[in-house]
A and B are shown apart, each in its own frame.
Chain A
Amino acid sequence: MFRNYLVTAYKVYTRRKLFTAINLLCITLTLMVLLVVTALLQNAFFPSGVEGKSDRLLQVTTMASVGNNGGTNRTSPLGYKVIEKYLKPLKSVQLVAAVTGPKTVSVYQDDRVTELLLRRADAQYWQILDFKVLLGRVPSADDVARGRFVAVLNQSTARKLFPDGKAVGKALNVGGQQFAIIGVVQDELQLNAYSDIWAPVTTDPSTEYRNQMWGEFTALLLARNSADLPRIQAEVAQVATQVQFDDPKEWDQAFLWADSKLDFFARGLMNNERVPESGAGTMLLIIAVMMLLFMVLPALNLVNLNTGRIMERSSEIGVRKAFGARSSQLVTQFVVENMLLSLLGGLLGLIGAKGVLLWLEGSGLVPYLKVDINFAVFLCGLVLTLVFGLLSGVIPAWKMSRLDPVLALKGAA
């Protein structure tokens, strides 16, 4: 039976080539856009590469603090003191790293001033993230402990500042501080890895950062295995209740959450700074609904086109019914036909999405972007395709399968 469906579908689609092309274009463009979005989201929520340990990596990015009078609230990145005093001693964690967010600095070289992004990190940062070292090395624990003025550049920055390709060993004036470049790493866009220059945290011009409860730090927590993540999350939530503020008269309560990448984005978007639940489920649901809505318009267009196409086949519907086809079998036939076209559109959409992502990476519109279409994105594309095929196929199929066989045979449906 399936072969019969396939043959009929092939014949129907090749008979009306322009119609099929319009159909296919509609499906391909819709799925291409959705696949590009999916690949970007997948890359953000479940990163690979430099943050390849993301399945056992958590991050504490902000501390939400509530004042004694109830009216004062503050949510800001962590101070180094919170990481040092409360997070580094956590028992369930294998490694805890402290890193600042990327901060714009002026780099003086010859007679040029270049604005670049600088992160200051401890030695554990380089152990947790898997930077690909292209030249030289990354800062050691000794470099950090001794406060050595050493710096690492990413590939693009090294090329920009040292076109001769010999960056390692050279000196660089960053915001008035003189650094020796010890290594070059591959460009990265991931949230915790994105920067142009890295220096040890101990090279900060002031030691004041060590005493701050709020600052510009993120803590990266690496678990021994992914099964430990819930325990670590509970431990972090517990430790937040023990936070002692420097000014206990003004500040009373602190909230710290160890989040996965997905939870981190969700918590920020859903504004869930004071509750354990990040809102990731709701956020994913909103994304799914938005994708569905994006599919609805082209799907409705296809519903119209498909109804017209099936209408032309009312005689076939009448014959099939006369010879014993049930309505459900006809629905299956027409949905299978539509699904075939959708799958072809999905495949073309996948190829198109890959092309768009390559173009995005190469265009420099998003610096250091590296997005691949992995198996998860492919699977998501398949699901999107099937949903799209069902959306655009079921309604006309259901409508036509209920045709009165006598009217269908007369072609008067």
Chain B
Amino acid sequence: MIRLENISKTYQTDKVETLALKDINLHVKKGEFVSIMGPSGCGKSTLLNLIGLLDRPGTGAISVDGAAVKSYRDKDVAKLRNQAFGFIFQSFHLINDLRVIDNVELPLLYRPVSASERRRMAREALEKVGLGARMEHYPNQLSGGQQQRVAIARAMVGRPKILLADEPTGNLDSQMGGEVMDQLLKLNQDGTTIVMVTHDEREARRGSHVIRVFDGQLVA
């Protein structure tokens, strides 16, 4: 499904060049739940951003569904991100000015989908995460766990090929974190491929694979 070959990434800041990732080779198969673990600053999030085409590698190649990503032009990556990926962030990144239902509709705004169809799909996604009754609320009227469930609904509404979650339980207490993990596992059981960055060994082990990053390299 997703293949990374010989990926390296360096960051240039003033006179310092920092190597974030080195010679990464990774293959995420359809239906897998891959957990990426490692200490802070080891390159986990950079790896996730590269998979999700939010960032471009220094060297190496990425392919999605067998097709190599040849162009990182705005127009091309925007389309791929929209159709192939769904993102879940540690700090939710919901738009507080929009209602829950409007937040969930967001990925569909960038597709040729009618307003009524968007609304129907967003409602369905919210019902799946148990927030059918909170559609008209604003994000800041919800608890942290509920907000992350809205973020999951937003990530899933466009039926992406792969769900990328960057420490989805990092800002939640254990009970809410557990609820979010349950949602992710349920989605995975329904066939969604998931790549998740986490610090939590217990959560990582609930997935099908655990890969470890240390100093920018895969170690297991």
Contacts and interface: CB of A to CB of B under 8 A. Distances in A.
B49 A12 contact: no
Given A1-B109, A4-B105, A11-B98, A322 B115 contact: no
Interface string A306-335: 000000000110111111111111000000
B140 to A, nearest CB: 12
A321 B93 CA distance: 12
Given A406-B49, A409-B89, A326 B98 contact: no
Contacts of A8: 95, 97-98
Contact of B78 (A1, A7, A316, A324): A324
Given A8-B98, A11-B98, A329 B110 contact: yes
Interface residues of B, number: 28
Contact of A324 (B83, B95, B102, B115): B83
Interface string B46-86: 00010010110000000000000000001100110111010
Nearest to B83: A324
Given A1-B109, A324-B79, A319 B93 contact: yes
Contact of B109 (A4, A11, A321): A4
Interface in A109-124: none
Given A318-B93, A406-B49, A324 B54 contact: no
Contact of B87 (A15, A323, A329): A323
Contacts of B49: 406
A318 B158 CA distance: 18
B78 A325 contact: yes
Contacts, number: 70
Given A405-B54, A406-B55, A409-B89, A12 B97 contact: yes
A170 interface: no
Interface of A: 1, 3-4, 7-8, 11-12, 15, 315-316, 318-329, 404-406, 409
A147 to B, nearest CB: 78
A4 B82 contact: no
B87 A322 contact: yes
21 contacts: A1-B109, A4-B98, A8-B97, A12-B97, A318-B93, A319-B93, A321-B54, A322-B87, A323-B81, A323-B106, A323-B110, A324-B79, A324-B82, A324-B83, A324-B110, A326-B74, A327-B74, A327-B78, A405-B55, A406-B49, A406-B54
A320 B79 CA distance: 12
Top 9 A-B pairs, shortest CB-CB distance: A324-B82, A11-B97, A324-B110, A323-B107, A326-B78, A322-B87, A319-B93, A1-B109, A405-B54
A329 B79 CA distance: 12
Contacts of A3: 115
Nearest to B49: A406
Given A7-B97, A324-B111, A319 B54 contact: no
A404 B81 CA distance: 14
B106 A320 contact: yes
A136 B102 CA distance: 70
Contacts of A11: 97-98
B82 A323 contact: yes
A324 B85 CA distance: 9
A321 B78 contact: yes
Contact of A326 (B52, B55, B75, B154): B75
B110 A326 contact: yes
Contacts of B154: 323
A9 to B, nearest CB: 9
Given A324-B79, A324-B82, A409-B93, A7 B102 contact: yes
Given A323-B87, A325-B109, 4 more contacts: A8-B97, A319-B89, A322-B54, A324-B81
A362 B85 CA distance: 66
Contacts of B85: 322
A114 B97 CA distance: 68
Nearest to B166: A409
Contacts of A319: 87, 89, 93, 95, 106
Given A3-B115, A4-B109, A324-B79, A15 B97 contact: yes
B18 to A, nearest CB: 14
Contacts of B93: 315, 318-319, 409
A406 B87 CA distance: 12
Contact of B102 (A4, A316, A318, A409): A4
Q: Which of B55, B81, B97 has the most CB of A within 10 A?
A: B97
A382 B123 CA distance: 39
Nearest to B76: A326
Nearest to B155: A323
A309 to B, nearest CB: 12
A59 to B, nearest CB: 57
Contacts of B115: 3
Contacts of B110: 323-326, 329
Given A4-B109, A327-B74, A322 B81 contact: yes
A11 B95 CA distance: 11
B97 to A, nearest CB: 3
Contact of A7 (B81, B98, B158): B98
Interface string B180-215: 000000000000000000000000000000000000
Nearest to B93: A319
Contacts of B109: 1, 4, 325
Contacts of A12: 97
Contacts of A409: 54, 89, 93
A193 B24 CA distance: 86
Q: Which of B82, B85, B93, B154 has the most CB of A within 10 A?
A: B93
A1 B93 CA distance: 19
Contacts of B111: 324
Contacts of B105: 4
